Chain A
Amino acid sequence: MSQYQAEIILVGVIVAIACALPGVFLVLRRMALMSDAITHTVLLGIVIAFFVVEDLSSPLLIAGAAVVGLGTVWLVEAVHRTRLVAEDAAIGLTFPLLFSIAIILISRYAGDVHLDTDAVLLGEIALAPQRRFIVSGWDLGPQAAWMMGTILVVNLVFIRTFFKELKLTTFDPALAAALGFSPVVVHYALMGLVSVTAVGAFDAVGSILVVALMVGPPATGYLMTNDLRRMMMYSAGMATLAAISGYWVAHFLDVSIAGSMAGAVGLFFTVVLVFAPERGIVAVARRHTRQRWEFAQTMLTGHLLNHEGTPEETHESRVDHIEHVLGWAPAFRDGVISRAERDGLIVQVDRTLRLTPTGHTHAAKVLIPAAGGTRLEP
């Protein structure tokens, strides 16, 4: 691995973590699509700031972008507050408009500069190491690493300092307001953070990957835990993993690095979605199957207990009769019976079932006798 490659990966990892941290709160607050809106509209801020300072590397560009990012949030809320459209429509009306204005401005007035829309939307992280951060002759590495590193530190400091406030306003905004924490202030501070992160990241990896990194790793973390701190750590880990593996896939296939990182985000999410312990699709399906058999066994023992010692017992306990009573297909019935036998709940003699003492206790535990000794079954 050359130093050039290492620097690309370094930038990628820093960007990924910097995006994932505020992304956690976006996902939890159901505002994931605000990241989509902001990543598109910060372009307008960059363009306007560029017209003012005429320098593409000026920090004012970030300030301009952050202002427009906040402006987007405000505008979406203003449109929504008219109560003329739902919130999703408000987002869908606002950001394409601001983005269109940005594109028109670019194609009319900034045709010759680097500000081409392709680079902004798609990003080119492969070029990141070319712009160096040089202080009095010392080469301190890629500019992008320093800029995104600074943003990452700001994000970390903000989240650490206002962790309590963020947590409270995210999970219980009403309580937060009652306790005197203004959800609105926290909301706009968070959105400002998202805007600054988006604009910093976007120069390196393009706006679409910013959305993937802000939404994907937190969504993956959300599937893995209920604890906010853990979720943030898992998200950062996932983001790092996606950045590194995405880079190498792109390297070997010689394709877009940003696209490949987004693909890796999707892949990891899918794997966790399917295989996560407890909440994964496989785990849930297995739990359902197990519960289905357990429930069926309980039904069976309950039925047997219900008729124990009654005149109909011999008739009701016959294997061939069970399927009519409980509405089971023969194959399922046989499965339940063999499982119940294996678990020592029943014994089978001459196609007739009888409860073992264990089965007796099991059935009695779940079968609450109705008042007056009424049968639970017809």
Chain B
Amino acid sequence: MFDFGDYTLRVVAAGSAILGITSGVLGSFAVLRKQSLLGDAISHAALPGVALAYLLTSSKSPLVLVLGAALAGWLGTLSVRSIVKRSRIKQDTALGLVMSVFFGVGLVLLTYIQRLPDASKAGLNTFLFGQAAAMLGRDVATMFVLGSLAVLAVVVFWKEFKLLSFDPAFAASMGFPVQLLEVLLTTLLVVAIAIGLQAVGVVLMSALVVAPAAAARQWTDRLGIMVILAAAFGAASGVTGAAVSSSVEHLPTGPTIVLVASVIVALSFAFAPGRGLVARTILQRRSNRRFRLEAEG
């Protein structure tokens, strides 16, 4: 049905898979720490970084743009943290404010760039909505290197991140540098998002952080299994989305990937053993019946 012999599709599918894996892994921690929407803020906040990186270096090399995005995204999360810490503004307001203001500034820079006489500025727009179909071999190489580093860091700091996600107070009392670990984990999330922006765009990147992790959460109570499942769901959404959108005309890749990921979430919500809605309904029926039987004697 899908022609994976096609070179472009292979590149796109590989890129989407890498993207799904990294955002699935890092997203698991974000979802568990109730920071699902941090991804949304980071991806919006990254825009001025992309524009500035281009303005300063006149380079469109994926590494430069991704670094710019990561830096701005990181600055955005830092702003959210310090606003919440230093004023009575709550997390949700700080997130909404930072993402929209950073994005606005990015828009200003972007329109400024578009007026420059230089012709090689095309392609920056793809950061808004993403253009997975335009992914090149070198983009995928960049994604692979940065994504692997991020996942590797999670493996190295596994114990620390686990503790941080479930009991930060205990982690602090054990003498772990909690603040530093939090910054590290956020930085990794920023990297995971930055590499995906070009493929699925600012608006939909946040979905790839939340959806695979939220789906994986339903199947298990163990962090290790959840992270692996989230990576698998992310990869499956990426590859399936890329393949479907390439075989149907006028079907943009980013939204298709999100659609696939949402289907996985819906299936997980419904059919996951134990927590799932079906399982819960059956359990409830059964206990109702037993209760009635016992009541009737």
Contact = CB atoms under 8 A, between A and B. Distances in A.
A227 B184 CA distance: 39
14 contacts: A27-B90, A92-B39, A92-B211, A96-B262, A212-B100, A212-B101, A214-B96, A216-B101, A219-B94, A222-B88, A223-B88, A255-B109, A265-B100, A281-B87
A127 interface: no
B255 A266 contact: no
B221 to A, nearest CB: 13
B210 A219 contact: no
A250 B259 contact: no
B132 to A, nearest CB: 13
B258 A92 contact: no
A99 interface: yes
Contacts of B217: 84-85
Interface in A261-295: 261-263, 265-266, 269, 273, 279, 281, 284
Interface string A55-97: 0000000000000000000000000001011101101110011
Given A33-B95, A273-B83, A108 B206 contact: no
Contacts of B251: 104, 107-108
Interface stretch (B7-15, B28-36, B63-71, B163-171): B28-36
Contacts of A35: 96
Contacts, number: 206
A97 B215 CA distance: 14
B292 interface: no
Given A111-B250, A215-B100, A279 B211 contact: no
Nearest to B205: A96
A129 interface: no
Interface of B: 31, 34-37, 39-40, 44, 83, 86-90, 92-97, 99-112, 115, 125, 128-129, 203-204, 206-207, 209-211, 214, 217-218, 250-252, 254-256, 258-259, 262, 265, 269, 275, 277
B104 A92 contact: no
B93 A219 contact: yes
State the main secondary structure of chain B at its contact with A: helix
Contacts of A306: none
Given A92-B39, A104-B256, A97 B262 contact: yes
Contact of A93 (B107, B112, B214): B214
A268 to B, nearest CB: 10
A160 interface: no
Contacts of B265: 93
Contact of A100 (B36, B39, B92, B207): B207
A33 B87 contact: no
B97 A266 contact: yes
A49 interface: no
A92 B259 contact: no
A153 interface: no
Given A96-B207, A99-B204, 12 more contacts: A30-B93, A33-B40, A36-B96, A85-B217, A212-B103, A215-B96, A253-B108, A254-B115, A262-B103, A266-B101, A273-B86, A284-B86
B69 to A, nearest CB: 17
Given A32-B93, A84-B218, A216-B97, A108 B104 contact: no
Contact of A27 (B93, B105, B115): B93
Interface in A84-131: 84-86, 88-89, 91-93, 96-97, 99-101, 103-104, 107-108, 111, 117-118, 121-122
Given A93-B211, A96-B258, A253-B112, A84 B275 contact: yes
Interface string A2-19: 000000000000000000
Nearest to A266: B101
Contact of B259 (A32, A101, A118, A273): A101
B259 A261 contact: no
A192 interface: no
Given A104-B259, A107-B250, A92 B40 contact: yes
A260 interface: yes
A120 B203 CA distance: 13
Contacts of B90: 27, 30, 32
Contacts of B86: 273, 281, 284
Given A30-B92, A93-B265, A259-B108, A99 B203 contact: yes
Interface of A: 27, 30-33, 35-36, 40, 82, 84-86, 88-89, 91-93, 96-97, 99-101, 103-104, 107-108, 111, 117-118, 121-122, 208-209, 211-212, 214-216, 218-219, 222-223, 250, 253-256, 258-263, 265-266, 269, 273, 279, 281, 284
B108 A33 contact: no
Contact of B107 (A84, A122, A211): A122
A216 B256 CA distance: 32
B89 to A, nearest CB: 6
A296 to B, nearest CB: 24
Nearest to A254: B115
Contacts of A97: 207, 258-259, 262
Contacts of B96: 32-33, 35-36, 211, 214-215
A37 to B, nearest CB: 9
A122 B101 CA distance: 13
B166 to A, nearest CB: 14
B99 to A, nearest CB: 7
- Nearest 6 CB-CB pairings of A with B: A262-B104, A259-B107, A266-B101, A96-B207, A100-B255, A212-B100
Residue of B108, B109, B111, B258 contacting most chain A CB atoms (<10 Å) = B108
